[in-house]
Amino acid sequence: MSSIIQLLPDHVANQIAAGEVVQRPASVVKELVENAIDAGATDIKLICKDAGKTLIQVIDNGKGMSVTDARLCFERHATSKIRKAEDLFDLHTKGFRGEALASIAAIAHVELKTKQDQEELGSHLIIEGSKFVSQEPSVLPKGTSFSVKNLFFNIPARRNFLKSDTVELKHIIDEFQRVALAHANIHFTLYHNGSELFNLPQSNFRQRIVNVFSGKTNEKLVPVSEDTEIVKLTGFVGKPEFAKKNRGEQFFFVNDRFIKSGYLHHAIMAAYEGLLKDGSQPSYFLYLEVPPHTIDINIHPTKTEIKFDDEHALYAILRSAIKHSLGQFNVAPVLDFERDANLDTPYDYLNKSADMPLIQVDATFNPFAADDVSAKKETTSVSSSFSFKPKKETQSWESLYVGLKDAFEPQEMQFESETVTSSLFSDSEVEKAKTATYQIHKKYIVSPIKSGMLIIDQQRAHQRILYEQFLKNITVLQASSQQLLFPLTMYFSGNELGLLTELKPSLESTGFVFDTFNSESVVISGIPVTMTESEVSIVLEELIADLQDEIPESSFSQMDSMAKSMAKSMAVKTGTYLTETEQESIVNNLFACKEQSVSPFNKPTFITLSVEDIDKKFSI
């Protein structure tokens, strides 16, 4: 019987490994940029075309590779980072598995140019789908240049699974920001389709955060510092008033490696307990230094999850350090009561005794006495004297109560006739009472109908109404706007501004009027008539957060997502009291919608309770 188990060819094994290592263009960016950091580079340039689908190029000024290493680095499990198994628990570099370059070369056209500082000539390699096309010496500057072209050219199915350029570019920027924030001592530059998106010079951690997330970020940061035997903690957290709905500005770095940890995130949320609104997420940029042997990095293919030896101690240290920083910088309430410094005793009066005031009182003064007795009396004091003007003649105070008893004597009462000559309510009022609406628990609106009653969810119903209004305004381009007396200036990061620029035509069709767009802020001079000035920041932040989670690929789905997000933000919330007029307006507008039975998120907006259903409840 022949054997059925066979060894896979190298090019097939590399393609299988590429399925784990290279999920999208951002995965290639992460691997190549981390290799440049491991090479000791101080200047790294990232160049992309068509969101990495056509070209990803990383140029660094690191130590470069020899002719042999340049060829050997594309072999599977070839690495300079580890020599024995024990090295896996004492890692000081980014990559260590030796699969990245072999996997990338299996599914793309790769061009490598590298040269060491002491060598006169460098190496120029061209690889297409794991096949070496050429390798020749070349005159090159010090460092390494990796060019990855036509990603997934030999796996069309994988290429078809890639999202739009906007989505893929967002993932590339996310990876770029994570690496750039972890290494503030390196100069990073990012170009896309010939445009410079980021130029981050060498700086400290705080300045790097500000350079990545716009200039207004500086005033939001609160420094955090703690040094223990278990961990050395540095970094910054955001002030509670600047918390957002999304989690885009939350970064953990362990030994300069970006990680995700729900457990440590919970520690931060515990430190912010009582300071955040419901659903808000604080910003944080935290750098943890721990002994390499106390963590295990090799538990996840993307190396974004780490196992700690003592997570409970890290949790407690992180929570207490952040809570201390928030209290130290007067962000969180502390035990000391605030006092007004103006109420403190001046130094000149510190040892002086208080002077007793000298007051002279007229003991014979009687306000109810006759006028001729007290009209001309005067009361004097040490500093001044006061005179009283004579009162007009009035009767004694006892006269105020004369006849009061007679006024409360019971009189003969007249009763209205019980004979009803006409209806108490007019016919129109009776009809109105039949169609009246009622609000229950500030959540549901009850409206009677012929067969029973309707119970309407006020929030979902209002979402449906606003959704159809916004969608109509966007498509018909006939929205009305109200001009603001004082224009609003709002600050956003580079990613958010890029998304707003793309959404600008759709936002203007809903009623927004934008004056200026610059590299950090947006000036708004007009807003939709259905929106208040205080809602603008909330609506735009939630819109950006919703679209950043999954950016739609087509323009129609983008408009649909924008209408849904704005409707969700502006709809009346559960717990809001509604007047009868507001209740009737929601009911009438809901049943004027094209699809009134479900909200924009496919949740039911109302239920019908018939008289028969009510009778069954009473027949038990």
pLDDT at 16: 67
pLDDT at 444: 92
Nearest by Cα to 25 from 187, 198, 130, 175: 175
Give tens-digit pLDDT for 75-107. Answer: 776 666 655 555 555 566 665 555 678 888 888
29 vs 582: CA distance, rounded Å: 53
200 vs 211: CA distance, rounded Å: 7
Residues forming CATH 3.30.1370.100 domain(s) in the chain: 439-608
pLDDT at 409: 59
Nearest by Cα to 458 from 351, 574, 303, 313: 574
User: May I ask the CATH architecture of the domain 439-608?
Assistant: 2-Layer Sandwich (3.30)
State CA 410 to chain mean position distance: 71
pLDDT at 374: 44
Q: In the structure encoding, which two tokens stand for residue 477, read together? A: 């381009």
Of the pLDDT bands very low, low, confident and very high (cuts 50, 70, 90), residue 294 is confident
Residue 605: is its pLDDT beyond 70?
A: yes
586 vs 592: CA distance, rounded Å: 10
pLDDT at 392: 53
pLDDT at 464: 92
Q: In what order do the strands lie in the sheet with 232-238?
A: 221-227, 232-238, 284-289, 250-254, 257-259
CB 32 within 8 A of CB 56: yes
Of the pLDDT bands very low, low, confident and very high (cuts 50, 70, 90), residue 286 is very high
pLDDT at 377: 47
The CATH number, out of the four listed (1.25.40.10, 3.40.50.1260, 3.30.230.10, 2.60.40.1180), of the domain defined by the range 213-328: 3.30.230.10
Of the pLDDT bands very low, low, confident and very high (cuts 50, 70, 90), residue 383 is very low
Of the pLDDT bands very low, low, confident and very high (cuts 50, 70, 90), residue 375 is very low
What is the mean predicted confidence (pLDDT) over 593-614? 89
List Cα–Cα distances, 356 to 282, 353, 382, 414, 602, in angstroms.
Answer: 56, 9, 12, 66, 78
Residue 21: is its pLDDT beyond 90?
A: no
What separation, in Å, do the N-terminal and C-terminal C-alpha atoms of the chain show? 74
Greater pLDDT, 328 or 138: 138
186 vs 45: CA distance, rounded Å: 11
Residue 477: is its pLDDT beyond 80?
A: no
pLDDT at 82: 59
Residues forming CATH 3.30.565.10 domain(s) in the chain: 10-200
Of the pLDDT bands very low, low, confident and very high (cuts 50, 70, 90), residue 189 is very high
What is the mean predicted confidence (pLDDT) over 254-275? 88
What is the mean predicted confidence (pLDDT) over 369-376? 53
Greater pLDDT, 271 or 424: 271
What is the mean predicted confidence (pLDDT) over 2-25? 72
Averaged confidence pLDDT in the chain: 79
Q: How many CA atoms lie within 13 A of 614 on its CB side?
A: 9
Of the pLDDT bands very low, low, confident and very high (cuts 50, 70, 90), residue 395 is low
CB 82 within 8 A of CB 88: yes
Class of domain 10-200: alpha beta
Residue 236: is its pLDDT beyond 90?
A: yes
Handedness of CA 210, 213, 217, 222 (dihedral sign): negative
Residues forming CATH 3.30.230.10 domain(s) in the chain: 213-328
Residue 47: is its pLDDT beyond 90?
A: yes
